[in-house]
Copies of this chain bind each other. A is one copy, B any other.
Amino acid sequence: MRIGEFAREAGVTAKTVRFYEQTGLLPQPPRTAAGYRDYAPGDVERLRFVRSAQAAGLSLAEIGEVLRLSDSGQRPCAHVRDILTAHLEQVEERLVELRDARARLLRLAEIAEATDPGDCPPESVCRILRNHAS
């Protein structure tokens, strides 16, 4: 199986596969006589794992840690649990920030509705956006 088909099987590009190999997420596969990468059908699972871990919000570095643990024969379960917990906290924090941002934007939109361009003193850039930094 050459790199194009291998990549398609997991829904990524050949570029991405080479990149993952370069960063150590995928091992270097054997090569054909012509120098082409030659993957076994079963190799796709590891690539798919990378994608689902990514979909769960893990960074490539974190995925690399999990893979290295697994490759060294350990069960990465505990480490995975830690990572998931940390990510959950980050997501919660980000949700709070985003809700704040939404509240700010709604407040500004309200001000924008109530603002007549004629009211704006010409010396300021934009009344709507002013002085709401706090």
Report the nearest B residue to A73, measured CB to CB.
Answer: B122
Listed stretches A1-9, A15-23, A28-36, A79-87; interface member? A79-87
Is A106 located at the chain interface by the 8 A CB criterion?
Answer: yes
> CA–CA, A105 to B120, complex, Å?
47
The oligomer's copy count stands at 2
> CA–CA, A120 to B76, complex, Å?
10
Report A5 CB to chain B, min CB distance, Å.
20
> CA–CA, A105 to B80, complex, Å?
11
Report A114 CB to chain B, min CB distance, Å.
11
Are the CB atoms of B77 and A126 closer together than 8 Å? yes
A to B CB contacts below 8 Å, 30 in the list: A48-B133, A49-B125, A49-B129, A49-B130, A51-B133, A52-B131, A53-B129, A55-B104, A55-B132, A56-B108, A56-B129, A57-B105, A66-B125, A66-B126, A66-B129, A75-B117, A76-B125, A77-B120, A80-B126, A81-B109, A81-B112, A81-B128, A85-B109, A87-B105, A88-B105, A91-B101, A92-B102, A94-B98, A95-B95, A95-B98
